Chains A and B, each alone.
Chain A
Amino acid sequence: MMDHARYRSAIMADPRDPGAELRAHRESCPECLAYSERLLKFDARIERALRVDMPGAADVLPFARKPQSLAGARRWLAIAASVLLGAAIVGGIWLTLPQRSLAAAVVAHMAGEPDAWQRTDIAVDAPALQDVLKDSNLRLKPAAGIVSYASSCPFRGHRVPHLVVQTPKGPVTVMVLVHEPLRKSMQFEEQGYRGTLVPVPGHGSLAVLMQDSGVSAAEIARIAAQVDDSIVWTR
Chain B
Amino acid sequence: MNDQVGGKQRRARFQALCQSLRPDLLRFAFWLSRDRALAEDVVQESMLRAWKAQDSLLNEAAAKPWLLTIVRREYARTFERKRLTTVDVDELIAKEEPTLAAAEEQDIADVRAAIMKLPDEYREPLVLQVLMGYSTAEIAHELELSGPAVLTRLCRARRQLRAACGEDTTLDPQE
Contacts and interface: CB of A to CB of B under 8 A. Distances in A.
B107 interface: yes
A113 to B, nearest CB: 6
A112 B167 contact: no
Nearest to A57: B23
Given A42-B167, A158-B37, A52 B173 contact: no
Nearest to B30: A52
A57 B29 CA distance: 12
B159 interface: yes
Contacts of B171: 8, 31, 35
Is the contact region of chain B dominated by helix, strand, or loop, or is it mixed? helix
B131 A50 contact: yes
A49 B14 contact: no
A63 interface: yes
B27 A60 contact: no
Interface residues on B, range: 35 or more
A51 B132 CA distance: 10
Contacts of A50: 27, 31, 112, 115, 126-127, 130-131
Contact of A49 (B41, B51, B112, B135): B112
A57 B18 contact: no
Contact of A43 (B51, B99, B130, B168): B130
A61 B18 contact: yes
A154 B41 contact: yes
Contacts of A43: 130, 158
B131 A14 contact: no
A27 interface: no
A77 to B, nearest CB: 30
Given A42-B158, A49-B112, A53-B103, A62 B44 contact: yes
A117 interface: no
Interface of B: 11, 14-15, 18-20, 22-23, 26-27, 30-31, 37-38, 40-41, 44-45, 47-52, 81-82, 96, 99, 103-104, 107-109, 111-112, 115, 126-127, 129-131, 135-136, 150-152, 154-155, 158-159, 161-162, 165, 167-168, 171-173
22 contacts: A5-B173, A9-B155, A9-B173, A12-B172, A12-B173, A13-B154, A14-B129, A45-B165, A46-B115, A50-B112, A50-B130, A50-B131, A51-B131, A58-B19, A58-B22, A58-B23, A62-B18, A62-B48, A113-B48, A154-B41, A156-B41, A157-B37
